[in-house]
Every structure is written in C-alpha cells, then in structure tokens.
C-alpha cells in the first residue's frame, strides 16, 4: 500500500522514526529492570503463580530426578484420636489438652521401635501442674511434665517446636536434643512457598521470665542497648529500662522481685542468643549428621558439613529464606503415615509383653495435628494444594536437604540480561516484521521460552522467571511498539493521502492507496509534463507597489499606516496569484494529473505517474485547455468589474478623492512535452522528499512554456504525436509552428500550438 511504501522509503530510515521505537523499548526495559530491583521476581505474585504451576507439573509428571527420601514419617492425631483418648478405651480419659505423659508414651514407643528422630510440631511452652501425676513401674509417682522430660532425655533424638517468640519450657528445653523453628513465611497471597533456614532467638534467664510474667512484659519487643534493656509493658504501654554493666550483666536487685530464689546471683546475663534452625533442616541433620553449630553462612547461601564428609549448600534469597521443593503431600505413598492412638496402643501392648512390629525403625518422624474444628487445626495453602496441613512443610524441607535438591533462583544478572535481551528482540521483531507475522513470532518465542522454563524446573528445579522477561519486557514492548507503529502508519497514510490529494484527483489517490506494490523510489517512465506561467506577474507587482507609494504620498500616511497599507496591497496581490494558481491546479487534478510544485507564479504538473496512464498526453492537453478557458472566464469577470470601478472613479474624481485601482487581467503561457523521464522521490532523509520528474523532456517543456507568449499553449512533437493517436480531431486543429531554437538544445525544436478557444468563438479579452 502507498503508506507502506512511503514508510519504508521515506520515513523508516529517518532519525526520528529510528529513535522513537528504540526509546519505547528502552523505557519499557528500564522500567522492568527497576521493577525487578524493587520487587524481585520471587516476590512477584504473578511469577509466584507460575512457580506454583511448575511445582504441580513437576509433581504430576515425575522425572527420574524426582527423588523422595524413603525414611520420612508422619504421626498424626485427628478428631478420632481426640475421641479415642477421651472415651477411656485406652485406660484413661482426657479432654482435648492431654497431659504431657500422652506425648511421652508416644515418644517412648517410637524410641522403642528405633525411630531416628522425632520432631513435635506441638508447642510445649509452659508446665501443666494441673495434670495428675504419672505412676511409674516401681510405684513412684512423678508429674506428667517430668515424665515427658525424662522420656525426651532418654530418647536423645527429640526435636521440639520453637519460634523466635516462643521457646519450649526450660524443663523440656534442657532435656531435648534440638529445637526446630516451626514458624511459617507466608507470601503476600497467603501461600507457603518459602522457609527461613534459621533465626536467632533470645533465651531469657528465668528471673527475667518471672519478672515478665508479673509485669506483663512483651519480651519480644524488648529494646537492647549497649548499657540497658528497655522492656515494653503491655498493660500500660510504657518502657521500663534496666541498666547493664560493661559485661552485659544486670543486677538482680534491679528486677525488684518480691520473692527471690535463695541461689539467685547478684549479677546475671539476662539472655543468650540461640540459633534456631528450621525443623525440616534439623530432621535432615539427624540423618546426615550435619553440624548445625558451625555453619558457613554467606550472603546467598548457607553451607552445612557432616561428620562423614557430607555437605549441603542451601541457596538463600535476599530475605534469608529458601523456596521449599514441594514434593510430598500427606497422602504420598512414600511417606510413612500412622496415627498417634495406634502408638499408644502399641505401647500398652508392649508393656504387656506382646511383640510389636517396628514400623518406625530408622525413620525421621514428624508428630503433628490434622484435627479440625478446634485450635489444633493447622491448615494453609501451598503450591501443591489450596488447603493442606502445614505440618507437611517439615518433611518437604527435610527431603530437600537429604536428597540435596533445592530450588535454584535465577541469578540477578541473568534475570536482568533476560529482560534486556527479550525486550530488545521483541522490539526488533515488532518493528521489522509485519504486525500479524510479528505477533505470531512473538507468540512462538513466548511459548518456547515458557517451555524452556518448565523444562528447567522439571529437570533441575531451576526457577527461570517468566512474567517480567516475557510479559513486562517482551509483551509490553511488543504491544507498545505495535501500537506506535499502527499509529505512525495511520498518520503516514493520512499524510500521504493529504499530500497526494493536493497533487492528483481523489480517484487517483484512492487507486494509489489500493495498490500493494507501487514503485516511488525511481524509475524511467513515459510521461507528459506541463509548465503554466502567469504572464505579467512581475509587471503587476511593480504597478501595484508604485500605486501604493503614490497613495501613501498623496494621503500623507504615518509610517505605521503606510506599512499597514503596503501589507494590504501585498495580500491583495498574493490573493490574485493564488486564485489563478488554484484555477490552474483544479484543472490539473480534474484531469487526473499530478501537481508537482509551484515555482513562483508558475505551475508544474505531469501525467503518467505515479499511476500509469496510456492517454497522459491527451489528458494533459485537455487540462491545459480547461485552465486557459477558466482564466479567460476570470478575465471576463474582471472586465465587468473594471467598468463598475471606472464609474465609481468618475464620482470619486468629482469629489477630489483617491481613485480605486483597476483589476489586472491575467494571461497564461503554457508549455507541454512528452517522453521518457526519471520519476521518483527526490530529496534527502534529513529535509524530506518530493515526488517529481526530471530529465531532457522536462527541460524542453519548460523551454516551450518560455516561447508560448500570452494565452497560448505550445506542445512538443512527441505530445502532438500521442494526441494524434488518441484524439485525431484535436490534433487536426493544432497549428504547426516554425522550428524554434531554445536554450540548452543544439538543434531547432519542432513545436505545435494547441488552440483552446471553442470553434467559432473569439474572445477579445483573452
């Protein structure tokens, strides 16, 4: 189409249209990179959704690299467990909050069956003195809490639940093998995808705990300074500072406790810091014998080494978390699952001397709730399920550490490189391919990139970002540049239509715009060119200026009024010329000619390009005839107008007033010639192009216009021959002129005069 041709030949290479699409792509890429800096892809909601899809895909289509540890176990208690423990069928009746010896009995049985580690996803943050004592085999009685603590110590493989805000009661804490953090790191959409490898918790001195209980201190909000601790009191929302010495110790007397233990020291350290590892990592460390006390912690990873030479490198994100490789649902066949009441029954039967199958031998066991309808419920969303038991986090983390398969985040530099590369490729495709083709290619590239991202996750658990590179950098760049391109092409179409509408008839414009292939870049074409010059324009200008100066002098006008009068005369002169040029141009477009340019008071036009026209000479001749007749009619009107002016001037003369000038008559000299010439866009990329013609035949047409005189049309020999072929009657009235010698041509030129007045009509004015 014509606007496409102009687009490629005239505007694509221009600096303006090269810079704008590049700027669009650069801005989109820059904004995407800044967005990645502020909100990394691992924190982006849409990206996280694509992560969940990949997790589900990998879980549903397990590859050979999909490994699950074979010694993981889950001891669950549910609503049926609660009912069984409360109905007396096991020899005791306890409500929902069982005495601690119930957990002790379960732990004792698991230990007897050879469990390698037992992790309780249950808080034991305080003592329960209200529970009845436990009778031992020797008949002695101890508290339920003491019984549980003894079993914990004897087992030597227990992991108790903790958080940075809540630690196990000292009785349990001092007897357990390890504590494990069971806190959750939910993303903004409420989905559990990440786990904190470790956190540092303050283990407070018993005297501080006693003071906090009495004064209602929120120890988690304590501010630690170099020389004091500032406790926050929830009751009256005040700060209570207590001084520290240079060793970080405080005076016991500063606590102002009413009762003080007899063995209380005069000075003590109020807390010490304990690193709490994720419960899943602690479980795995039991299996791999990892040293949790001497980790190598770096900015983006933590390295754990085992006594047997095993090493695990856990990749960390910016927040110190790692993404959980979700593989194991609670109902996974490779996860050993049992019920808490079955272990209680097994312990009772074992005490009776019965033989018990050791189902839990060498297993890493998590004990947790799957009960519903009470505060034991622990449900939430993970990438595998919209609602599941969050206790499943522990064995998924343990499995990742044991199998040494972690989610690897895309490095920052690679993410940025992908954004820049995809944005750049998207821009190039959009700008250099047709819209439909470009969109199809972009869709294929996006699908290919998406397939690569899924494959990398499926095989290597490598999280390649999708949203920002493909959607933000790729799709947005494509959409914006495509919109810009459509807009530019629409503007160029309108511009070309506007320009050509002034040069050719509307029919020619419509035909041009319907062409798919149109050569405007330059070709040799048989055309007819016309030069039409308004005669006497210089004399008219001189006359009007002379009259203006006479008027100014006669009427003694001020300098300001004189300038205004000169401008008025100049406008009137220009209006005369413009009216004549408009009349000529209308004749040209009416006969499907191409208006090339105005050269002062001369009009240049041609026929036969850009649209082919086999009758271009005849159409040009008819346009020249129409132009002469139109100017003749204009002169007739001016003659009548001058008669009225002469009558008005006679009255003005009698009154001694200035006379009005007569309207000048306009005459036209026309030269026409035909032949092969060069046609195309002439100009430069910097200053624009003009669709024009040039060559020997054009020069000859200009020379023929020079010898045409007033009110005459002179045509060349080639033009006459084509008119004779297409309209013999018109050629018959042409008058052969004597050969003329014109500038720039060595030999005399044969020419003809083309009469333009109708037969039997003679106009004295024209």
pLDDT digits (tens, 9 = 90+) for 409-433: 888 889 889 888 888 888 888 888 8
**Token code pair at residue 300:** 């983006």
Spatial contact of 658 and 555, defined as CB atoms under 8 Å apart:
yes
- Three-state SS sequence of 692-736: EEECHHHHHHHHHHHCCCCCEEEEEHHHHHHHHHHCHHHHHCCEE
224, pLDDT greater than 60: yes
Mean pLDDT for the stretch of residues 278-298: 94
Spatial contact of 456 and 462, defined as CB atoms under 8 Å apart:
yes
Domain 518-753 has CATH 3.40.50.920: no
pLDDT digits (tens, 9 = 90+) for 600-634: 888 999 998 887 889 999 999 999 999 999 888 88
**Across the strands, what pairs with 296?**
303
Output the pTM of the full model: 0.66
pLDDT digits (tens, 9 = 90+) for 484-533: 877 776 766 666 565 555 555 555 565 555 554 445 556 788 999 999 99
**Token code pair at residue 591:** 């006969």
Q: What is the pLDDT of residue 55?
A: 92
Q: What is the pLDDT of residue 109?
A: 95
Q: To the nearest whole number, what is the mean pLDDT of the chain? A: 85
Give every CB contact of residue 526 below 8 A, 6+ residues apart in sequence: 608, 616, 674, 675, 676
Spatial contact of 580 and 634, defined as CB atoms under 8 Å apart:
yes
pLDDT band for 724, please (50, 70, 90 cuts).
Answer: very high
CA distance 674 to 686: 32
Burial category of 424 from C-beta neighbours within 10 Å (exposed 0-12, middle 13-18, buried 19 and up) = middle
Q: Which one, of 712, 706, 704, lies nearest residue 766 by Cα? A: 712
CA distance 396 to 402: 10
Q: Which helix (H) or strand (E) holds 156?
A: none
Burial category of 515 from C-beta neighbours within 10 Å (exposed 0-12, middle 13-18, buried 19 and up) = middle
Q: Give, in order, the Cα–Cα distances in Å from 49 to each of 46, 190, 416, 465.
A: 5, 12, 20, 11
**Token code pair at residue 276:** 């709490």
**Across the strands, what pairs with 204?**
271
β-strand pairing of 523-535 with 602-607? antiparallel
Q: What is the pLDDT of residue 501?
A: 57
Q: By percentage, how much of the chain surpasses pLDDT 70?
A: 90
CA distance 174 to 615: 110
- Three-state SS sequence of 197-251: CEEEEEEECHHHHHHHHHHCEEEEEEEECCCEEEEEECCCCEEEEEECCCCCCEE
Sheet with 296-297, side-by-side order of all strands: 296-297, 301-305, 311-315
pLDDT digits (tens, 9 = 90+) for 385-403: 999 999 999 999 999 999 9
Q: What is the pLDDT of residue 612?
A: 82
Burial category of 189 from C-beta neighbours within 10 Å (exposed 0-12, middle 13-18, buried 19 and up) = exposed
What are the residue ranges spanned by the domains of the chain? 2-51+407-500, 68-197+281-403, 206-269, 518-753
CA distance 723 to 295: 101
Spatial contact of 242 and 224, defined as CB atoms under 8 Å apart:
no
């Amino acid at each position: 189409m014509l606007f496409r041709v102009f687009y490629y030949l005239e505007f694509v290479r221009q600096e303006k249209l090269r810079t704008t699409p590049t700027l669009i792509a650069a801005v989109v890429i820059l904004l995407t990179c800044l967005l990645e800096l502020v909100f990394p892809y691992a924190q982006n909601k849409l990206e996280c959704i694509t992560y969940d899809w990949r997790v589900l895909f990998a879980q549903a289509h397990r590859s050979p690299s999909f490994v699950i540890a074979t010694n993981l176990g889950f001891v669950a208690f549910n609503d049926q467990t609660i009912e069984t423990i409360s109905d007396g069928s096991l020899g005791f009746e306890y409500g929902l909050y069982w005495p601690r010896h119930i957990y002790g009995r379960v732990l004792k049985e698991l230990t007897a069956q050879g469990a390698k580690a037992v992790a309780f996803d249950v808080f034991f943050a305080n003592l329960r003195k209200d529970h009845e004592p436990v009778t031992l085999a020797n008949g002695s009685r101890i508290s339920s809490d003491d019984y549980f603590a003894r079993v914990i110590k004897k087992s030597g493989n227990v992991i108790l639940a903790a958080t940075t805000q809540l630690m196990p009661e000292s009785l349990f804490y001092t007897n357990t093998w390890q504590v494990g953090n069971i806190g959750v790191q939910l993303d903004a959409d409420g989905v559990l995808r990440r786990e904190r490898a470790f956190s540092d918790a303050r283990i407070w001195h018993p005297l501080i705990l006693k003071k906090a209980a009495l004064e209602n201190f929120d120890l988690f909000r304590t501010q630690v300074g170099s020389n004091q601790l500032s406790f926050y009191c929830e009751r009256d929302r005040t700060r209570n500072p207590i001084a520290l010495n240079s060793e970080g110790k405080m005076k016991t007397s500063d606590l102002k406790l009413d009762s003080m233990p007899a063995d209380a020291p005069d000075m003590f350290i109020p807390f010490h810091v304990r690193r709490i590892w994720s419960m899943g990592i602690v479980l795995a460390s039991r299996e791999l014998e990892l040293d949790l006390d001497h980790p190598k912690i770096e900015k983006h990873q933590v390295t754990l080494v085992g006594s047997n030479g095993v090493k695990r490198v856990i990749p960390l994100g910016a927040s110190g978390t790692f993404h959980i490789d979700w593989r194991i649902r609670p109902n996974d066949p490779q996860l050993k699952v049992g019920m808490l009441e079955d272990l209680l029954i097994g312990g009772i039967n074992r005490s009776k001397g019965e033989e018990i199958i050791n189902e839990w031998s060498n297993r890493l066991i998590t004990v947790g709730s799957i009960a519903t309808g009470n505060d034991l419920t622990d449900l939430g969303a993970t990438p595998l399920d919209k609602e599941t038991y969050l206790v499943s986090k522990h064995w998924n983390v343990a499995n990742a550490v044991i199998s040494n398969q972690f989610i690897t985040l895309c490095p920052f530099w690679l993410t940025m490189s992908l954004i820049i590369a995809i944005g750049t490729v998207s821009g190039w495709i959009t700008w250099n391919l047709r819209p439909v083709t470009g969109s199809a290619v972009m869709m294929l590239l996006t699908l290919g990139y998406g397939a690569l991202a899924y494959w990398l996750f499926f095989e290597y658990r490598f999280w390649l970002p999708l949203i920002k590179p493909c959607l933000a950098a790729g799709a947005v760049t494509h959409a914006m540049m495509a919109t810009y391109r459509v807009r530019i092409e629409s503007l160029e179409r309108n511009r070309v239509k506007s320009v050509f509408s002034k040069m050719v008839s509307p029919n020619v414009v419509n035909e041009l715009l319907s062409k798919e292939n149109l050569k405007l870049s330059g070709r040799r074409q048989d055309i007819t060119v016309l030069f039409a010059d308004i005669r006497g324009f210089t004399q008219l200008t001189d006359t009007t200026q002379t009259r203006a100066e006479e008027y100014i002098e006669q009427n003694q006008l001020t300098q300001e009024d004189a300038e205004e009068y000169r401008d008025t005369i100049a406008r009137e002169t220009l209006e005369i010329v413009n009216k004549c040029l408009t009349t000529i141009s209308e004749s040209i477009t009416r006969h499907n000619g191409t208006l090339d340019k105005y050269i002062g008071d001369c009009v240049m036009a041609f026929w036969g390009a850009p649209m082919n026209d086999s009758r271009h000479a005849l159409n040009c001749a008819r346009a020249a005839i129409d132009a002469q007749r139109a100017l003749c009619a204009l002169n007739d009107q001016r003659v009548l107008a001058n008669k009225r002016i002469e009558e008005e001037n006679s009255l003005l003369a009698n009154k001694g007033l200035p006379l009005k000038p007569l309207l000048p008559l306009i005459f036209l000299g026309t030269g026409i010639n035909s032949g092969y010439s060069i046609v195309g866009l002439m100009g430069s990329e910097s200053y624009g192009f003009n669709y024009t013609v040039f060559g020997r035949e054009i020069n000859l047409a200009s020379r023929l216009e020079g010898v045409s005189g007033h009110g005459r049309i002179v045509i060349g020999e080639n033009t006459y021959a084509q008119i004779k072929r297409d309209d013999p009657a018109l050629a018959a009235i042409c008058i052969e002129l004597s050969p003329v010698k014109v500038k720039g041509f060595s030999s005399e030129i044969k020419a003809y005069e083309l009469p333009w007045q109708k037969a039997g009509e003679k106009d004295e004015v024209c």
